């Protein structure tokens, strides 16, 4: 730690680290803390400076478009009737026009959100007070989904094990 309470640059070991680089490769996450000078020398900001690197290129790859201007698909022409924002505008900027855009463009947004976040529904952060109950409630919801899935697959032994787990959690909640 530096005198200001900030971590010290992991490259020069002199200046306070002001840049936090996070990289995930093959599921392995690595983090580095660098000062601005070292970050510039390592090219950490190059992606921001490249004129060809636009939000459209990033989102285009994720939503199945080529990401280059002039390549429009049928989904690009749809417009939210509430705010007038088009899906193409979302692809260009990464921003939706209103909360209803999520419903209007759901067929295209849900697979993208699922790829980025691992689930479609928003969970939010848990408050410090009462977090245990909320966590248990979420776990119960997830277990019930898993049990229903196991029943649909006719994996009845697995469903019974999940049911028993649900009952154990519910008994623990009754005592709390």
Residue-level pLDDT at 68: 37
Closest CA to 94 of 72, 129, 63, 73: 63
pLDDT digits (tens, 9 = 90+) for 39-55: 888 877 655 544 555 55
Residue-level pLDDT at 86: 87
The per-residue b/e assignment along 39-62, b for 16 or more CB within 10 angstroms, e otherwise, is beeeeeeeeeeeeeebebeebbee
The pTM of the full predicted model, rounded to 2 decimals, is 0.38
User: Cα(92)–Cα(71) distance, rounded to whole angstroms?
Assistant: 12
Low-confidence residues in the chain, pLDDT < 70: 1-5, 45-76, 123, 126, 173-176
Residue-level pLDDT at 58: 57
User: Cα(139)–Cα(149) distance, rounded to whole angstroms?
Assistant: 15
Residue-level pLDDT at 119: 72
The token pair that represents 26 in the structure block: 């093959």
CATH number of 1-51, picked from 3.40.1130, 1.10.260, 3.30.60, 1.10.287: 3.30.60
Cα pseudo-dihedral 24, 117, 124, 142, rounded to 10: -110
Cα pseudo-dihedral 144, 148, 151, 155, rounded to 10: -60
Closest CA to 90 of 118, 60, 116, 66: 60
Ramachandran angles phi, psi of 29, nearest 5°? -95, 135
Residues 10 and 33 sit within 8 Å (Cβ to Cβ): yes
Residues 80 and 102 sit within 8 Å (Cβ to Cβ): no
> How far does the chain reach from its first CA to its final CA, in angstroms?
42
Residue-level pLDDT at 176: 44
Residue-level pLDDT at 70: 39
Domain boundaries, the chain: 1-51, 54-117, 131-175
């Amino acid at each position: 730690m530096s005198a200001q309470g900030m971590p010290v640059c992991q490259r020069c070991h002199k200046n306070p680290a002001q840049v936090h680089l996070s990289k995930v490769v093959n599921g392995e996450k690595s983090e580095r803390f660098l000062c601005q000078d070292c970050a510039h020398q390592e090219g950490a900001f190059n992606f921001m400076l490249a004129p060809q690197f636009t939000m459209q290129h990033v989102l285009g790859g994720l939503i199945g478009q080529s990401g280059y201007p002039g390549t429009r698909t049928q989904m690009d022409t749809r417009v939210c009737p509430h705010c007038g924002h088009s899906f193409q505008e979302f692809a260009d900027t990464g921003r939706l026009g209103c909360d209803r855009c999520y419903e209007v463009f759901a067929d295209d947004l849900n697979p993208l959100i699922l790829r980025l976040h691992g689930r479609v529904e928003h969970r939010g952060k848990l408050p410090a007070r009462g977090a245990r109950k909320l966590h248990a409630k979420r776990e119960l919801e997830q277990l019930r989904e898993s049990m229903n899935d196991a029943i649909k697959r006719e994996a009845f032994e697995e469903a019974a094990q999940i049911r028993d787990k649900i009952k154990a959690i519910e008994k623990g909640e009754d005592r709390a």
